[in-house]
Chains A and B, each alone.
Chain A
Amino acid sequence: MSFPESLHAAYDVIVIGAGPAGLAAAATTAEAGLRTLLVDENSAPGGQIYRAITTSPLKNSSILGKDYEAGNDLVHTFEKSGADRLAGCTVWSLDRERVVGLSCGGEARLIKAERVIIATGAMERPFPIPGWTLPGVMTIGAGQTLLKSSGLIPSGRLALAGQGPLLWLYAAQILRAGGHIAAIFDTTPLANYISAALHLPGFIFSPYWTKGLGLIREVKRAVKIVTGVTRLEAQGKNKLQTLVWEAGSRTGSIDLDVLMLHQGVVPHVNLAMAAGIKHEWDAIQLCFRPVLDESGNSSIKGIMIAGDGAGIGGAESAAERGRLAAIDTVANLRPDALAQIPSRDNVRNRLAQTMRGRAFLDHLYRPSKVFRIPQDASTIVCRCEEITAGEIRASIAIGATGPNQLKAYRRTGMGPCQGRLCSLTVTELMADERGKSPEEIGYYRLRSPVKPISLAELASIPQDETAIKAVVRG
């Protein structure tokens, strides 16, 4: 894969990410006649939720479920829309002039757009427990990716730990695919059931209610569940061997080959932050999210954010938010084409429907503090640079005040993942330790390249590019 000859030097719209928000946004702007490019780092469209929707070896819906099939319509509509698509292409920079740095097949380009719609979705919240870096420990999302794209299930003894709808969905999928789960360790804090109960009425009328209960029942019939889990430790020499757990006063251990962790998803903010877009702390969802208007316009003119990257709302709302961003784009760049695409009011109404029940889920699956802020000093926080919670606390004690100052003491956030797997933990840990709010403590200052770019790729940028700037916070 490299850049096709047909690639234009500039586009009306560049959409970054081919999940539900990106597919819906790109299809809508292209249908309105705007020259649209959809860029995605995966080889097949679908994002995470509809991963491998066109290529999965699991051909019928008996394993992955009917909701997954909804991705087919999105891809189909996109393919008819006339938008260009670059698959297997990494976006490594975006600036306030809306110049997008792309690399593909060992080459790099800088391409400008009138509008950029960031649809880079969500990532799983870090789950820092002792031993989470051992081979054999991975996220439930990782397990589901392997299932969707290659039809793979874990071999050997498997346990799942954590909380959230994805845990139950994946457990059910593994069972339907003929897999076995030794145990599920549910970390949902018991107090969450009370705080969530206030939001129950909204949830009962949402589609999640019956589907969710059905899944949990399906799994509970076949798997041992330990509830109220308060501590997890993965042990092993060169790979996972044992999971030690505590649930209040109960304790136990279990020999395992694979442990999958999950405690919800958070917006994947790296690209938006590196572009200089303003973010704020979401005290309910416990994460940073971009400051946006109703259509998805960010603090930088011409850059919009749609889908879970704008704040977690799930796949169906992601598609609607993608359409809303696209409608705003068309209204600005080609208002005469508005008649050809869905009306703003219709999309808004559908969005409201898809958001029903969200508050209940947000409160029920709010992860507990002990799994967000590592209590054991030896727990690795920064996986790339192998920095522990104890080392970070020691740096705070001698003067590190925030994530950026911490870099003068420890190399946290300076490895290849650029803080994706440690930033929330570092922010919350420092806030907790210093008695401040996460908003006050802030986040790493992120910069392009948001993904590593090889020296060869950088050197391959054509000479004729005019002076083009990428924005970072100095």
Chain B
Amino acid sequence: MFKRATNHQEPAVQITVDGLPVTARRGDTVSAAILTAGCVEPYRYTAVNGTPRAPYCMMGVCFDCLVTIDGIGNRQGCLIPVSDGMVITRQNGKREIES
């Protein structure tokens, strides 16, 4: 959904999203990295009706950016910067914790 406007030289950060390798840039938030990767759409499905969603506000108020990061669910992806080796899992419907 997004692309980089500049060829800036920020170091690359390697993460995985649902097992897929994604290259982000240092300074990206988790949400920015997913929206730029393009390979993982939709961003998530809601827990209420299972409808597709993507981040809406990118400033921590809408909670449409929720993801599981390194095993911990319901993290606000728009507030958390990527770091090397981060394992991100999309939240699909009610799978907020593994039963």
Which residues of A lie under 8 Å from residue B74 when comparing CB positions? 416, 452, 454
Inter-chain CA distance A48–B29, complex, in Å, is 14
Inter-chain CA distance A54–B83, complex, in Å, is 18
B52 and A152 contacting across the interface, CB-CB below 8 Å: no
**How many contacting A-B pairs (Cβ < 8 A)?**
145
Scoring B49, B56, B74 by chain A CB atoms within 10 A of each residue's CB, the highest score goes to B56
Count, chain A residues at interface, CB 8 A: 57
Q: With contacts A421-B61, A452-B74 known, is A383 near B3, CB below 8 A?
A: no
CB distance from B65 to the nearest CB of A (A): 10
Inter-chain CA distance A420–B60, complex, in Å, is 10
B10 and A57 contacting across the interface, CB-CB below 8 Å: yes
Within B51-87, the residues touching A (CB, 8 Å) are: 51-64, 66, 72, 74, 78-81
CB distance from A268 to the nearest CB of B (A): 7
Which residues of B lie under 8 Å from residue A152 when comparing CB positions? 2-5, 32, 35-36
CB distance from A66 to the nearest CB of B (A): 19
Inter-chain CA distance A177–B42, complex, in Å, is 26
Interface of A: prevailing SS: loop
Inter-chain CA distance A135–B4, complex, in Å, is 19
Partner of A41, one of B6, B43, B48, B60: B60
A153 at the interface (CB under 8 A from B): yes
B54 and A136 contacting across the interface, CB-CB below 8 Å: yes
CB distance from A384 to the nearest CB of B (A): 7
Which residues of A lie under 8 Å from residue B62 when comparing CB positions? 383, 417, 420-421
Which residues of B lie under 8 Å from residue A52 when comparing CB positions? 27
Nearest A residue to B29 via CB reads A149
Partner of B53, one of A133, A139, A451: A133
Q: Mark A115-157, 1 if CB is under 8 A from B, else 0.
A: 0000000011000000011111111011101110111111110
A142 and B58 contacting across the interface, CB-CB below 8 Å: yes
B4 and A88 contacting across the interface, CB-CB below 8 Å: no
A348 at the interface (CB under 8 A from B): no
Please name 18 pairs of A and B residues whose Cβ atoms are closer than 8 Å in the assembled complex, sorted by A. A41-B79, A42-B60, A58-B8, A59-B8, A123-B59, A135-B1, A139-B58, A141-B57, A149-B32, A152-B4, A152-B36, A239-B42, A257-B1, A383-B56, A385-B48, A386-B51, A415-B48, A454-B74
Within B4-62, the residues touching A (CB, 8 Å) are: 4-6, 8, 10, 25, 27-29, 32, 35-36, 38, 41-43, 46, 48-49, 51-62
